[in-house]
C-alpha cells in the first residue's frame, strides 16, 4: 500500500507500484558506505542520509535489483517507498 497526505493512493504488488515511480525513498541502518559504493558502480547515487535516502534508478534497473544488491552486501533496506507524483 502507498499512502500520500494521509490517504491511500496506490495498492498492489511491488512491480505494479513502481510503474510511474520517479524515484525511491529508502531507509538503511547499517553498511551505508558499502551500499553507496555498490550502487554508484551501477550508476545510482544516494542523496540524503544518514539513514533515509532518495535515489533514482536507471531504466534498466528495478526495485528488485536494488533489494538484491542490499542483500548481497548485507545492508538491509528496512523501508522502500516509491516516490510517485500525486495529482491534486
Domain extent listing, the chain? 2-83
Q: Which residue has the higher pLDDT, 30 or 5?
A: 30
Q: What digits encode the pLDDT tens for the residues 12-27?
A: 555 555 666 778 999 9
Nine-digit cell at 74?
Answer: 548485507
Which range, of 26-30, 69-73, 80-84, averages the lowest pLDDT? 80-84
Q: What digits encode the pLDDT tens for the residues 31-63?
A: 999 999 999 999 999 999 999 999 998 888 888
The model's pTM? 0.75
CATH numeric code, 2-83: 3.30.70
Specify whether the CB–CB gap between 38 and 3 falls below 8 A.
Answer: no
Given this model, what pLDDT does residue 84 score? Answer: 73
Instruction: Count other C-beta atoms under 10 Å from residue 69's C-beta.
Output: 19
Amino acid at each position: 500500500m502507498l499512502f500520500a497526505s494521509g490517504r491511500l493512493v496506490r495498492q498492489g504488488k511491488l512491480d505494479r507500484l513502481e510503474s510511474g515511480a520517479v524515484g525511491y525513498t529508502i531507509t538503511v541502518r547499517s553498511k551505508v558506505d558499502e551500499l553507496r559504493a555498490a550502487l554508484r558502480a551501477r550508476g545510482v547515487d544516494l542523496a540524503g542520509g544518514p539513514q533515509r535516502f532518495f535515489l533514482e534508478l536507471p531504466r534498466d534497473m528495478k526495485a528488485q535489483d536494488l533489494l538484491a544488491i542490499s542483500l548481497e552486501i548485507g545492508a538491509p533496506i528496512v523501508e522502500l517507498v516509491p516516490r510517485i507524483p500525486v495529482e491534486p
